[in-house]
Amino acid sequence: MPEQIPIEDLTPMMQQYLETKRQYADCILFYRLGDFYEMFFEDAQTAARELDLTLTGKACGMEERAPMCGVPYHAVESYLTKLVSKGYKVAIGEQLEDPKQAKGLVKRDVVRIVTPGTNLNLQSLEESKNNYLLSIAFTPTKIGISVADVTTGDYYLTEVEDLKKLNDEVMKYEPSEIICNEAFLVSGFQVEELREKYLSISLAKAKRLENLIDEFLEIAKYNLTNITLQYSEINLTRLLEQLVYEFRPVLEKKGLTCRLTAPEDMMLKCDADKLQRVFDNLLRNAWAYSYEGTQISIEVRESGDHVELRFSNHGGTIPAEKLERIFEQFYRLDPERGTEGSGLGLAIAKQIVTLHKGEITALSREGLTVFAVTLPIPCGSPAL
Ligand SMILES: Nc1ncnc2c1ncn2[C@@H]1O[C@H](COP(=O)(O)OP(=O)(O)OP(=O)(O)O)[C@@H](O)[C@H]1O
Ligand SMILES: [Mg+2]
């Protein structure tokens, strides 16, 4: 902002602009000039960067031209949405009279302020989610909360006694924007902490979606009927040793140990990558669903024309009637707990084992759960 320039030296339009900007200093000011909304000075630099616009200049009475950029008025909504989604507040300064009829400078003023919680552009909003604006009125005895979704008309009011309960309410509504009174700002509520919490929830959700997409792709891959297994002769004992080794750090965090019992250098003809996916999921489940401080065991037994692998762990018992269902896609015993699993791991494992002409079954009794994978030797047929 050209603070060092005497305001009288500027053109009348620029004086009007700066006067409006002074009142909306925390916003990017979209200033209507004919068919465009123009931005000047720092606002222009920010908008040019964030919206990929060309930065130009406008003569405004100063020696140097004022940095300027603009967007056509008919396309303004998409630009507003972009800025708001990046956390900016935008003030729209409109022409309040017809420029053709105006005597002298056209009157302009801010007619709308767009923020994340007041954005009415439906295309920009997630359909499945409310767009809440939450406001907090902090008093020494009570905290008033009101929540509005201006796109649907939903409105709620409540009162809580302390900051912990306020935190719960904020987490419940996941507002796009929060406004508060000054007393709240000095209340000691850790806004940064809340931001961190928000971020970690978003991250966990994104991670879960990413896993889901990965697993979907994998399911789609294995559902192809003419899938061919890439057979090779592998050292099954080594593969399992490696797996246990890689899991050790996460197991340790939960105080778990893993004991592998297998014949020395047990060789097997199979699709190593795909079988590894099966073993990985079984061990991951054993880790996820084990009680802390217990032992997981993996036993490999060769008998005649087949090899059997048993993954056992100590945790909650899976009810007998659910033992078949856990191999179904998306089936989870306890969907409320945690956000990690998608209920696809065992479905994928079953498909891979079946492709190898093998079998996978589960047993669970008195806190001991055992998954048994039986594979024929030689496993499946390379002609598959
Ligand atoms: N070792 C185990 N002990 C107890 N329950 C288990 C065990 N393994 C699986 N389950 C139950 O079976 C359900 C399905 O397991 P599956 O591996 O298919 O999915 P998931 O672990 O929930 O998610 P992901 O797709 O990430 O593997 C689990 O949600 C869990 O309830
Ligand atoms: Mg799993």
In a domain, 258, yes or no: yes
26-55 mean pLDDT? 94
Q: Is 362 in the pocket of ligand 1 (CB under 6 A)?
A: no
Together in a domain, 46 and 163: no
What distance in angstroms lies between residue 18's CA and the mean position of ligand 2's atoms?
60
**Shared domain check, 327 and 281:** yes
Q: How many CB atoms lie within 10 A of CB 119?
A: 23
Using pLDDT thresholds of 50, 70 and 90, give the confidence band for residue 261.
very high
Q: Same domain, yes or no, for 87 and 149? A: no
Residue 377 beta carbon below 6 angstroms from any ligand 1 atom: no
Q: Answer yes or no: do 217 and 104 share one domain.
A: no
Above 90 in pLDDT, residue 68? yes
CATH of the domain at 208: 3.30.420.110
- Residue 40 near residue 28, CB atoms below 8 Å: no
Q: 145-183 pLDDT, tens per residue?
A: 999 988 788 899 999 998 888 888 888 888 888 888 888
- Domain residue limits at 159: 123-224
Give the residue whose CA is nearest to atom 17 of ligand 1.
345
Centre of ligand 1 from the C-alpha of residue 321, in Å: 15
* DSSP code per residue over 258-308: EEEE--TT-EEEE-HHHHHHHHHHHHHHHHHHBPTT-EEEEEEEEETTEEE
Same structural domain, 196 and 299: no
User: What's the pLDDT score for residue 383?
Assistant: 39
Q: Which of 209, 287, 289 to mutate to test the pocket of ligand 1 (most atoms within 8 A of CB)?
A: 289
325 and 283, same structural domain?
yes
**Residue 264 falls inside a structural domain:** yes
Q: Which residue of 310, 326, 340, 368 sits with most ligand 1 atoms within 8 Å of its CB, as the best mutation to test the pocket? A: 326
Residues 8-20 pLDDT 10s = 778 888 899 999 9
Q: Report the pLDDT value the prediction gives residue 282, as an integer from 0 to 100.
A: 97
What is the rounded average pLDDT of the residues 228-238? 90
Residues 130 and 253 reside in one and the same domain = no
**What's the confidence (pLDDT) of residue 354?**
92
Kindly state whether residue 276 falls inside one of the protein's structural domains: yes
Contact assessment for residue 120 and residue 151, using Cβ atoms and an 8 Å cutoff: yes
**pLDDT (average), residues 57-83:** 87
Mutate to test the pocket of ligand 1, among 280, 346, 361 (most ligand atoms within 8 A of CB): 346
Closest ligand 1 atom to 316 CA: 4
Give me the CATH number covering residue 343.
Answer: 3.30.565.10
Of the three residues 114, 140, 175, the one that is the final residue of a domain is 114
Give the total number of structural domains in the chain. Answer: 3
In a domain, 313, yes or no: yes
> Of 68, 83, 114, which closes a domain?
114
Comparing 59-63, 183-187, 220-224, 363-367, the range with the smallest average pLDDT is 220-224
Q: Which of 112, 113, 155 is nearest to 131 (CA)?
A: 155
Same domain? 250 vs 340: yes
Q: What is the arithmetic mean of pLDDT over 120-137?
A: 73
**Considering the domain boundaries, does residue 382 fall inside one?**
no
pLDDT digits (tens, 9 = 90+) for 299-342: 999 988 999 999 999 999 999 999 989 999 888 887 655 546 77
Tokens for 329? 């896609």
Q: Determine whether the shortest distance from the Cβ of 176 to ligand 1 is under 6 A.
A: no
The CA 308 to ligand 2 mean position distance, Å, reads 20
Q: Note whether 134 and 201 are same-domain residues.
A: yes
Ligand 1 neighbourhood includes 332 CB (under 6 angstroms): yes
Asked whether residue 176 is assigned to any structural domain, the reply reads: yes
State residue 339's pLDDT score: 47
Residue nearest to atom 7 of ligand 1 (CA): 285
109 and 195, same domain (yes or no) = no
In a domain, 102, yes or no: yes
The verdict on 202 and 218 lying in the same domain is yes
Residue 341 CB–ligand 1 contact under 6 Å: yes
In the structure encoding, which two tokens stand for residue 19, read together? 């006067």
* Residue 374: closest CA among 304, 313, 310: 310
User: Residue 196 — very low, low, confident or very high, per pLDDT cuts 50/70/90?
Assistant: confident
Phi, psi at 282, each rounded to 5°: -65, -40
- Residue where a domain stops, chosen among 88, 114, 140: 114
Question: How far are the Cα atoms of 20, 58, 199, 240, 244 from residue 235, in angstroms, in the given order?
Answer: 75, 73, 43, 9, 15
H or E element at residue 223: helix 191-223
| Residue owning the nearest CA to atom 31 of ligand 1 | 333
pLDDT at site 337: 56
Ligand nearest, relative to CA of residue 333:
1
Q: Does 121 score more than 60 pLDDT?
A: yes
Q: Interior CA angle at 117 toward 172 and 86, to 5°?
A: 105
Going by CA atoms, what residue is nearest to atom 1 of ligand 1? 286
Do 215 and 337 share a structural domain?
no
197 in a structural domain = yes
- DSSP helix/strand/coil, 96: coil
